[in-house]
Amino acid sequence: MEGQQVNQLKECEKHPSIFYSIKEERDIFMKLQKQMPRRFTLALTALALAASFSVSAENQTQYLQTTAYRGQVLHFVDDPAASQNPYEYFEDGVLLVGADGKVKAVGPAATILANNQQVNVVDYSGKLIMPGFIDSHIHYPQTEMIGSFGQQLLQWLETYTFPTEKQFADKTYAKKIAKVFLNELARNGTTTALVFGTVHPQSVDALFEEAATHNMRLIAGKVMMDRNAPAYLLDTPQTSYTDSKALIQRWHNKGRALYAVTPRFAPTSTPEQLTQAARLLQEFPGVYMHTHLSENKGEISWVQALFPESSGYLDVYNRYGLSGKHSVYAHGVHLRDDEFASLAQTESAVAFCPTSNLFLGSGLFDLQKAEQYHVKVGLGTDVGGGTSFSALQTMNEAYKVIQMHKAFTDQPETRLPLTSLKAYYLATLGAARALDLDNKIGSFKTGNEADFIVVNPNATDLLRLRMSRATDVADKLFALQTLGDDRAVEKTYVMGKRWYVTDDSGSGNDGYNNNYSQN
């Protein structure tokens, strides 16, 4: 009998959030423990717990596994450029996450906790709880070549990118880099990304396999490239179709994985290959199309020479039926007005990649014009042309890109600055809308997947000093994007589960997160 009671007690202790929330009973038990034999104490404990759990078995399971994360809670509900009330902010708020890893509620702590009195409460007071960042464009094979010196786009591809991507023919090597890549995303608070692989199908398998171990929502695809690149990286129209089809069937909508048909850019695909890309989109409705557009002036001239029948760069993709609701074009730095209008008409999106555009000397994306034409835009790091995995640092550079437009007009007052609210929107709900995933991620809407981060606005001495002068939420966010980086991201959660960042040796070092609690 005593053994059974011990087992009951151990089972109860697996759920300390409930066991220790019954404070009065706990205090009584502690006093009795000193006065009674151990076996009687255990029996009394089990009986009292059984009596105090008067809710149904179904509700017991719910309470055991539902968690309330308490802190300063922020999420966006609309575009700050289009709404007077684009966000919800709760100074003392709660994000309630269910056993299924989805959002159950968000709101003031007093209200949420009053209605959910027996849930586990994780206290992040003084910290900012917000949706995980979404990276709208990034290359995982270029992780190791980030910060490579001194070239513009086309020369940079030949000098650094193509030789690096050759290594991904080896799946073991690809898995090694995939692990580093995903750890860097998580370390910086990015919970979803739209990712380029290489021409090798095994590069995509390696990435999806590693992402699946974290239950991460990820969109990725095999590069399609059958000309104007080294022979060791070329496929053919037929093999690119066959390989991509097999990857779609293997990965699309498996768990949280989604597939993107990925022609590198128009110059490296023949008309025959672009036709095959369109075929994949037709055969598999719901997959994505991910490529580059109007990044560099030399690139645009090259496209015109290769496709003389087209009226412009975007027209090449339009002619082959590649534009649509799930199409994401990286950069769009030098788009004409008619191209902005076309993107809006086809519901295609642009990934704004400021650190890359500055680093490669490509130019300044016109976000204000994109807004005028109602083009969907998400923020992208574009690592390795981009210079940081950090969405905060990417927002920092985005602000400067928008400011620089003032230097190239006789009416600088007509060029509006990028507000902090808009910047965070682009990295969360705006990016989710660009990816047509706002019904799953990007905000704390009830039923959404609980991908979120815990941000320390006082992570450094300088941030702490600056925050002491912050006047409101927008000012606090602006200071964080200007001065913050991965050190400000204390914890990253994916589908309600903490992601413990490890180094590439697998030693379990928690990186910048290694001095925080286990919650």
pLDDT in tens, 398-425: 999 999 999 999 999 999 999 999 999 9
Answer whether residue 232 shows pLDDT above 50. Answer: yes
pLDDT of 151 reads 75
State pTM to two decimals.
0.86
Contact 240, 276 (CB under 8 A): yes
pLDDT of 15 reads 39
Give the Cα separation of 358 and 353 in Å (integer). 9
> Looking at per-residue confidence, does 508 or 175 come out higher?
175
Report the CATH number of the 133-418 domain.
3.20.20.140
**DSSP states along 334-391:** T--HHHHHHHHHHT-EEEE-HHHHHHTT-----HHHHHHTT-EEEE---TTTSS-S-H
End-to-end C-alpha distance for the chain, whole angstroms: 35
What value does the mean pLDDT take over residues 15-38?
42
Q: Where are the domains of the chain?
A: 2-54, 64-131+445-513, 133-418
Answer whether residue 29 shows pLDDT above 90. Answer: no
**DSSP states along 430-472:** HHHHHTT-TTTSSS--TTSB--EEEE-TTSSHHHHHHHTT--S
Report the CATH number of the 64-131+445-513 domain.
2.30.40.10
Share of the chain above pLDDT 90, in %: 80
pLDDT of 31 reads 45
